[in-house]
Chain A
Amino acid sequence: MLEQGITYNTTMGLVAGAIMLLLVVFARAVQRPDRSSVDGWGWMFVSLGLVLAITGTHMTLTWPLEQIPVEGVACCAADNVAFGEPAMLFGLLVVFAGIALIRGERLAFERGVPFDVVSTVRPMLYAGAFGGIGLVLIGVAGVEFGMWGPPPPDEPIARLMGESILERFYVAGAYIITGIAAMVAPFATEHRIVGRIFAGATLVGGMMWTFLGITLFYGHIGFFPH
């Protein structure tokens, strides 16, 4: 095992961001009156959700990040909770939402009735709203207990921030905004303002995770011993 242990949370962050950003595109595309089948979208959600579900479940059950001792940094045992558990929950929900889309559309076609996307995925959104409460609390706890900073001095890119609290608030913000998006998601279709909050939070949260994931692919590789 490498000294830094398992660092596949890079892919987890990128996939989380990709799912959120593609959800915005999907929400727009699916309501077109002349839209084609949602099969492709369903399989995309299944595949991305599987990445989160598998890595998140492994992280939740085995705590691989516990083995990373970094002097002076509040790292990393709690990261197994912060990264692993939400990834497992939302990954599984995304997988089954994708399957529900595929099956629901097929059943609607066989019965000759219109396919109601919202009512098909809403049960998953209800479950995700509970997870959203957890995400907000992870963000608050991360700031309160100093979970995400300051970065180790030998981690590329992140070390640019030195002792700044910017990274701590960035990651906490990503969790809290994602949590808000998850909490309002089941009700997004019922009120225009709630829909706008959902769309805005999903877009901003998705961008934050995507950017973080991109930087970590460089930073974590440079962080390994040479």
Chain B
Amino acid sequence: MTDYEMFTGLPTTVDDGPALRWSQLLVKAVLAALVLGLILTVILWPTVSADVGALTLCITFAVCAGLMVLRQAILAERR
């Protein structure tokens, strides 16, 4: 029988306590990024250009998606 080294799927191991704290923090970060991104989009779209506004919106959604992936990966289906 060969023992495999534990593969955590993330470059670090996260215990239950920190995982729950990080998950709550990341949700707040997503909400903050969403609000900030939408405000910036509304401002930049007419004042600078539609391209810059759309790019800001794309960055906002990408950042939110990335943070939520990190949250779910850290949580790893913990309840």
Let me know if A103 is at the binding interface, CB within 8 A: no
Given A28-B73, A32-B78, A214-B61: A157 and B7 interface contact (C-beta under 8 Å): no
Partner of A195, one of B7, B51, B55: B7
The reply to whether B9 and A31 form a contact with Cβ atoms under 8 Å apart is: yes
Query: Which A-B residue pairs are the 3 nearest by beta carbons?
Result: A27-B9, A28-B76, A28-B9
Chain B, 2-48, CB within 8 A of any chain A CB: 4-11
Q: Contact residue range for chain A?
A: 20 to 34
Q: Which of A180-200 contact B (CB under 8 A)?
A: 188-192, 195-196, 199-200
Name which residue of chain A comes closest to B71, CB basis: A25
A-B contact count (CB 8 A): 92
| CB closest chain-A residue, reference B55 | A157
Contact status of A211 and B59, CB under 8 A, knowing A157-B51, A190-B4:
yes
Binary contact track A185-221/B, C-beta < 8 Å → 1, others 0 = 0001111100110011001001100110011001000
The residues of B with any CB-CB pair to A shorter than 8 Å are 4-11, 50-52, 54-55, 57-59, 61-62, 65-66, 69-70, 72-74, 76-78
- Measuring CB to CB, which residues of chain A are less than 8 angstroms from any residue of chain B? 21-22, 24-29, 31-32, 35-36, 118, 156-157, 159-160, 188-192, 195-196, 199-200, 203, 206-207, 210-211, 214-215, 218
Contact B78 A215 (CB under 8 A): no
15 inter-chain pairs at a CB distance below 8 angstroms, sorted by A residue, are: A24-B9, A25-B69, A25-B76, A27-B9, A28-B73, A31-B7, A31-B8, A32-B76, A156-B51, A199-B8, A207-B65, A207-B66, A210-B62, A214-B61, A215-B58
